[in-house]
Amino acid sequence: MSKALPLRRRTDWVGILFAVALTVVILVPMLVVITWSFANVWRFPSVLPQQFGLKFWQMTLARSDVWSAFGLSLTLSAVVTAISAAICLPAAYAFARMEFPGRNVLFFSFLAGQAFPKFGLLVAIAAIFLQLNLIATFWGVVLIQLVGTLLFMIWIPVAAFQAVDRRMEEAARDAGAGPLRVFWSITLPQASPTIFSAILLSFVGTFYETEGAWLIGAPQIRTMPVLMISFINNQPVIQYGAVLSVLLWIPSLIALVFTRRVVNSGSFARGFGG
């Protein structure tokens, strides 16, 4: 509790080094991709494109399949996240606050789903979906992507609910609130910053999810990442891929802006038990 004397902050060289390294490996490739997307002509050995322009943006955005894929990806992510929240949040509350047989085993089974190579699992599921006529349908992809969100949407909210002081809930009961009212007015608001970060993670994760969407959804259901893969495979024009990449970053950027608040409050780290 003692107030320390104001320390002269020593220059944090290690921190700076990390920041520089991160910038190099993350920001530089992003800058290159962005530059590519605005390059009409860029030939070796020039350091900068010979001609800047919006040619490939116009060409990409003029394609109806890009827009439909973008819309589809957004819809998919929203639907998957909403269903996931509806299923996982009550489950997370149960994990956090109730004792029931098999609780721990069930809790760690969500980790098991992520711990093994996904592709084998997907192929097996695809075989089952084929019989259920879910292959190449919207809801088939929703189902498969739902599985990918479970870990985030259960583990993080569990930590969030566990971090809510029981006494706060009891005080609300004491003031005359019933159990549901307590959950709505006390527990959920207390846990909401962390839960919000879980929802964002699940939304962005679903938006970028490729293997499931491709294996279950192809050929009718073409999400943005799936479309990008086919672009890159069919036309070795770097600019197409670059434009699509930049488009794909949009949800991430939006998410980042929101998450900053959450991360600053420290509850994000708490969600991971930090």
Partner 1 sequence: MSKLTIAEVSKAFSTTRAVDSFSLEVADGELVCLLGPSGSGKSTLLRMIGGFETPTSGEIRIDGEDVTRLPPERRPTGMVFQSHALWTHMNVFNNIAFGLKLRRLPAVEIRQKVEKVLDLVGLAGYGKRHVTQLSGGQQQRVALARSLVLEPKILLLDEPFASLDQHLRERLREEVRDIQQRLGITTLFVTHGQDEALALADRIVVMRDGKTEQADRPEMVYREPATPFVAGFIGSMNLVSGQVADGVFTHSAFRLQVSASPGSALLAVRPEALDIAPANAGQGMAAIHRVTDFGINAVVDLSLPDGTRLKANVPDARAWQVGQPVDLVPRAFALYRDDKILLRS
The reply on whether position 178 binds partner 1 by CB under 8 A is yes
CA distances from 77 to 57, 135, 160 (A): 24, 18, 23
Our CB check for partner 1 shows the closer of 195 and 228 to be 195
Place of tokens 């980790």: 111
Which window, 110-118, 124-132, 160-168, 251-259, contacts partner 1 (CB under 8 A)? Answer: 160-168
Our CB check for partner 1 shows the closer of 67 and 258 to be 258
* Residues paired with 51 in a beta bridge: 41
The reply on whether position 190 binds partner 1 by CB under 8 A is yes
* Residues paired with 41 in a beta bridge: 51
Please tell me the distance from the alpha carbon of residue 214 to that of residue 76, in angstroms, as a whole number.
Answer: 13
User: 63, 103, 173, 261: which one contacts partner 1 (CB under 8 A)?
Assistant: 173
The reply on whether position 113 binds partner 1 by CB under 8 A is no
The reply on whether position 170 binds partner 1 by CB under 8 A is yes
Which window, 48-56, 148-156, 180-188, 261-269, contacts partner 1 (CB under 8 A)? Answer: 180-188
Our CB check for partner 1 shows the closer of 63 and 173 to be 173
User: 71, 90, 113, 189: which one contacts partner 1 (CB under 8 A)?
Assistant: 189
Please tell me the distance from the alpha carbon of residue 146 to that of residue 80, in angstroms, as a whole number.
Answer: 6
Please tell me the distance from the alpha carbon of residue 12 to that of residue 110, in angstroms, as a whole number.
Answer: 39
User: 61, 128, 130, 168: which one contacts partner 1 (CB under 8 A)?
Assistant: 168
Contact 262, 194 (CB under 8 A): yes
Please tell me the distance from the alpha carbon of residue 137 to that of residue 85, in angstroms, as a whole number.
Answer: 22
Please tell me the distance from the alpha carbon of residue 206 to that of residue 78, in angstroms, as a whole number.
Answer: 9
CB of 187 to partner 1, least distance (A): 10
- Which residues of the chain form contacts with partner 1 (CB under 8 A)? 165, 167-168, 170-178, 181, 185-186, 189-190
